[in-house]
Structure 1
Amino acid sequence: MDFRWIIKDKANPDTVEQLSSEINVNPTLANMLVNRGITDFQKAKEFFRPDLDKLHDPFLMKDMDKAVTRLAEAITKQERILIYGDYDVDGTTSVALFYGFLTEFYDNVSFYIPDRYKEGYGISEKGVCYAADNKFNLVVSLDCGIKALDKIKLANSLGVDFIICDHHTPGEFLPDAVAVLDPKRPDCPYPYKELSGCGVGFKLIQALAMRSGKNPAALYSYLDLVAVSIASDIVPITGENRILAYYGLERINNNPRPGIKALMLKGKVDKDINITDIVFKIGPRINASGRLEHAKASVELLIARDLDEAVRRAELVEDVNAARKNFDENITKEALQMIQVREINGSFKSTVLFKEDWHKGVIGIVASRCIERYYRPTIILTESNNKATGSARSVFNFDIYEAIEACSDLLEQFGGHKYAAGLTLAVENVPAFQLKFEEVVSQRIAEIHLKPTLEIDDELILDQINYRFYNILKQMAPFGPGNAEPVFCANQVYAENVRILKDKHLRFEIVQDGQNTRPVCIGFGFAKYYDFLNSKMRFNIAFELRENTFRNTSSLQLYVKDIKFD
């Protein structure tokens, strides 16, 4: 994919110089930190040394006092409590966290995950009736419920109380629940707005622990689940999320719960787990059950008490994940062919595809795959329960949720975020929706947003690349949205010792006039550049800095992001 490079502006030189002096780093690193909002010693200390004591008071969240009071009352009265969560990674980790914590000291509790195909997203009528029929007095919904006005009205009529824990954008009105915890509520004063659904659930158990006098450290064993949710739900790794992710990764790398350990074994990652490993190797395995079968299997895996049980459950999840990959590949191939045919008839600024027999569980993945090839806002629709249902994915800096909202007259239901959303509509409305969505996107999207961007932190000369520089970069982790892994460029370099690996990849050294350092570069999928690189043609290279260990010897390598020839 041809990237548009955006090299970040230089920060205020006086601020850079002061920070460089205060924390003893070179101006390049100081400039990068200032560009990320780290402008003085105190902010740098908080950034480089995340502290669990800096977590916000959970009672700052609107309705938290109501939620804790009702939950404590249910426990005191031995009421039946149902933990209700969505079927994706954020929802299943939320349920595992909340169910795991409550069952440490309370037995009268169970959990419920809606069936993706029979019930759809969020709180369902079937789920509410299940709670009422089985005498559950209180339901705690996690990662869903913020728009479930009718379902909460039904629950109230059946004598079932709800505490809603959500992190999605609310509608005009809130459900009439006992408590509605959502930092995105317009009237919520909670200082951090970007928690995952599991993060909101964590704040509720934190508040319950505080109210009951439990040691807060007792909650920290659940941070591995919170970290998995933060990574998989692609929420910003800033502020409170950074603290939760930092200590959650520490837990995963040192003492993970059996379910996560089993997933690590299946993903063949057993040390130095980072956010990327979760996104590509752990999260998809948790998601697989809910995509193809029932997400209850993922919760049972995550709450497994010992490794033997977890490994058995992970085997089942792995089989489903293999099937998911097969659906993913076949449907992506079909979708790309449909786009190619569509392109013959003109150019488009959005993609909306519908095929009634596509598997609902993988259409979000397919939307992302289509964007990798055709970089524009994309919605993939299939038929489910006689409705067209779909997943939407966006491109950098375009709010797909707002674009879908502008077409709401054609929709029956929708929800989501700036970069990802879900929607349901009548099948007969699909053609009209395709036309209107294209019209809305065309009016709102800038041409520059239809070309993928590569944000570059700074230009380096090759002699700047050394272990002192890299060791400070490592301390900036965990990386993710809001704190992207640093990308650098080096200009006017040429290649030597170019080798093709496995017919697709390249390994080569780069040389820069006047510089002694000749770093090794690894370019995955860059074999097409072999002849150009071998010709000693000058080029600019964008890269991330990585450490490679082979036969107990470590060295720094450049992980190639893009190459631009003169």
Structure 2
Amino acid sequence: MEKRWVINEPGDEETVGTLMESLGVDRVIANLLVQRGITNFDMAKAFFRPSLDDLHDPFLMKDMCKAVDRLVIAIEKQERVMVYGDYDVDGTTSVALVYTYLKSHFDFIDYYIPDRYSEGYGISKTGIDYAAENNISLVIALDCGIKAIEKIAYASEKGVDFIICDHHTPDENLPDAVAVLDPKRSDCEYPCDVLSGCGVGFKLMQGLANRKNWQFDTLIPLLDLLAVSIASDIVPITGENRVLTYYGLKQLNENPRLGLKTILKLAGVTKDLSVNDIVFKIGPRINAAGRIQSGNHAVQLLIAEKEEAATLIGDTINGLNEDRKELDHSITDDALERVAKSKTLLDKKSTVLFDRNWHKGVIGIVASRMIETYYKPTVILTESNGFATGSARSVDGFDLYNAISACSDLLENFGGHKYAAGLTMKIENVSVFQQRFEEYVCENITDDMLVPQIKVDASIKLSDITPKFFRVLKQFEPFGPKNMTPVFISEKVVDYGYSRPVGRNKEHLKLSVVDDIREGDVKGGIAFSMGKLYPKISSGSPFDVCYSVQENEYMGKVETQLMVRDIKF
């Protein structure tokens, strides 16, 4: 698939120059910082040296006083409290974090994860009934609840109070809960409005610790869960999230909780973890429990205290992840084939597919995979409890949430954000939704949005990649949204004579390249699925290469290499 290379606007020249001088770095590094909004020495210091002292006061969040007051009363009166969360990574890590912390200070605590298939997303009547029947007077809802107006009213009738900790976009009217913590509330002035659901739960625990004069250090062991949440939920890793992720990764690498240690062992992770390791190795395994069977398995593992139990649950979850992979691949193949065989679907600017028999637990993954082949806003639907329910994913620059909102009269419920959403409708509305969604997309998407783009930070020479350059670049970690791994292009590079196709079917390309002026060291690189370009590269034709720089360890030797994103002749 053809890709557009879009070079980011360079930073203000004067600001870049000032940073170069004050930090003692080269122009490329200084420009990368300015592009990320870091414009002076103090901001750079906070960026390169994250500190827990920079965390915001939790009481800056709207309703935090109300939430903490109610929780303190529950603790002092020994009320029964239930921690309630969604069945995905953000929800289950949220529940594990809040449950673990409260359990260490308070005995009357329970947790609840709704069943994806019988209860669906968010706060359910079944969950409320469970609370009422078990004399639970306070529920802390995590990563859900911001739109649960009717459910919270029902809970009030049952004598069950709710504290909502959510991070999704609220409607104009909020549920009538004891407290609604959501940094995206229009009347909330909390400095970081991009926390994960688990992040909001952490701020509640931080507020409780402040009120009860519990040492902040008692919160630090929770940060491994929070890092998993932030990375897996794809929230911006800037500001407060950067600090939390930095120390969460530190906790994961030095002293992870037993459940996460078990997952790392099953995933074969032995080196220092990065955000990518969480996204591709930890997150999918935690998610698999809720997708295929029950999110309760994930929480049980994350709060496990005995190795035997952790191993048993970990093996179960790993097996569920293998099942998830098989379902994911078979349904994706089916969906791709349907589009490939239909000129009507191929010509559309959106993809909306419905099949009663597709597995509900993997349709979000399928939607993402469809975009990898057909780069257009995509909705994948299946049948659940007599309704068509599904997941939607978007392309860069297109607001999916607004598109679905425009069809809200056809929906039973929906929620999400710009690039990912969930929705439910009557089955008879599917065909009308397909038509209306396509109409909205056609009216609001640009041709450029339908071509995948690679955002490039700067154009550099291969000879610019010195040991010092890479050492400073590594300090930009942890990478993630709003601080992505820097991407560069180098123009007119040539094969040094050692490039070769690799892989079982020679589908990949191992590069050995140098600037066309033959200056600097030879740089090695790997270009996945680009083996077909070998004849032209080996012929000596100069080409432009788009890449990030990473560390590669092989046979005990560590060296930098280019992780190639694209090649153009």
User: CA offsets, 1:54-111, max 9 Å, x none?
Assistant: 1000001111001001101011111110100000000000000000001102111110
Match of residue 565 from structure 2: 561
Match of residue 277 from structure 1: 277
- Give the secondary structure class of the aligned counterpart of 2:347: coil
CA RMSD of aligned residues (A): 0.9
Are 2:76 and 1:73 aligned?
A: no
Change beyond 3 A, Cα 1:346–1:369: closer
**How high is the TM-score relative to the length of structure 2?**
0.98
Instruction: Please give the alpha-carbon distance, in whole angstroms, between the structure 2 residues aligned to 1:464 and 1:497.
Output: 21
1:12-91 matched pairs, under 5 angstroms: 12-91=12-91
Shift of 1:549: 1.8
Instruction: Please give the alpha-carbon distance, in whole angstroms, between the structure 1 residues aligned to 2:210 and 2:2.
Output: 52
Greater alpha carbon shift after TM alignment, 525-534 vs 433-442? 525-534
Instruction: Please give the alpha-carbon distance, in whole angstroms, between the structure 2 residues aligned to 1:409 and 1:291.
Output: 28
Instruction: Please give the alpha-carbon distance, in whole angstroms, between the structure 2 residues aligned to 1:41 and 1:413.
Output: 47
Shift of 1:529: 1.2
CA contact (8 A) 1:261 1:307 kept: no
Match of residue 351 from structure 1: 351
Instruction: Please give the alpha-carbon distance, in whole angstroms, between the structure 2 residues aligned to 1:41 and 1:108.
Output: 49
1:147-546 matched pairs, under 5 angstroms: 147-344=147-344, 347-495=347-495, 496-502=497-503, 503=505, 504-514=507-517, 515-546=519-550
Shift of 1:186: 0.6
Shift of 1:521: 1.1
- Give the secondary structure class of the aligned counterpart of 1:235: coil
Instruction: Please give the alpha-carbon distance, in whole angstroms, between the structure 2 residues aligned to 1:343 and 1:53.
Output: 58
Match for 1:251: what amino acid? Q
- Give the secondary structure class of the aligned counterpart of 2:305: coil
Instruction: Please give the alpha-carbon distance, in whole angstroms, between the structure 2 residues aligned to 1:300 and 1:115.
Output: 15
Instruction: Please give the alpha-carbon distance, in whole angstroms, between the structure 2 residues aligned to 1:554 and 1:176.
Output: 57
CA contact (8 A) 1:132 1:159 kept: yes
User: CA offsets, 1:483-512, max 9 Å, x none?
Assistant: 000011110012221222222211121122
Instruction: Please give the alpha-carbon distance, in whole angstroms, between the structure 2 residues aligned to 1:346 and 1:556.
Output: 41
Instruction: Please give the alpha-carbon distance, in whole angstroms, between the structure 2 residues aligned to 1:507 and 1:65.
Output: 57
CA contact (8 A) 1:114 1:124 kept: yes
CA contact (8 A) 1:138 1:161 kept: yes
User: CA offsets, 1:299-333, max 9 Å, x none?
Assistant: 00000113343222110000100000000000000
Greater alpha carbon shift after TM alignment, 159-168 vs 509-518? 509-518
Gaps of 5+ in 2: none
Instruction: Please give the alpha-carbon distance, in whole angstroms, between the structure 1 residues aligned to 2:560 and 2:183.
Output: 41
Instruction: Please give the alpha-carbon distance, in whole angstroms, between the structure 1 residues aligned to 2:223 and 2:11.
Output: 35
- Give the secondary structure class of the aligned counterpart of 1:59: helix
Change beyond 3 A, Cα 1:402–1:345: closer
Q: Percent identity?
A: 54
CA contact (8 A) 2:499 2:513 kept: no
Instruction: Please give the alpha-carbon distance, in whole angstroms, between the structure 1 residues aligned to 2:557 and 2:340.
Output: 47
Instruction: Please give the alpha-carbon distance, in whole angstroms, between the structure 1 residues aligned to 2:441 and 2:17.
Output: 43
- Give the secondary structure class of the aligned counterpart of 2:536: helix
Instruction: Please give the alpha-carbon distance, in whole angstroms, between the structure 2 residues aligned to 1:394 and 1:522.
Output: 28
Shift of 1:552: 2.2
Shift of 1:161: 0.4
Shift of 1:344: 5.0
Greater alpha carbon shift after TM alignment, 550-559 vs 280-289? 550-559
Greater alpha carbon shift after TM alignment, 363-372 vs 268-277? 268-277
Change beyond 3 A, Cα 1:505–1:181: same
Gaps of 5+ in 1: none
Instruction: Please give the alpha-carbon distance, in whole angstroms, between the structure 2 residues aligned to 1:306 and 1:499.
Output: 49
User: CA offsets, 1:3-22, max 9 Å, x none?
Assistant: 10011122211111100000
Instruction: Please give the alpha-carbon distance, in whole angstroms, between the structure 2 residues aligned to 1:383 and 1:107.
Output: 41
Instruction: Please give the alpha-carbon distance, in whole angstroms, between the structure 2 residues aligned to 1:109 and 1:177.
Output: 20
Match for 1:501: what amino acid? V
Greater alpha carbon shift after TM alignment, 242-251 vs 4-13? 4-13
- Give the secondary structure class of the aligned counterpart of 1:188: coil
User: CA offsets, 1:155-192, max 9 Å, x none?
Assistant: 00010000000000001210000000000011111111
Shift of 1:346: 5.7
Greater alpha carbon shift after TM alignment, 545-554 vs 179-188? 545-554
Change beyond 3 A, Cα 1:349–1:159: same
Count of residues paired in the alignment? 565
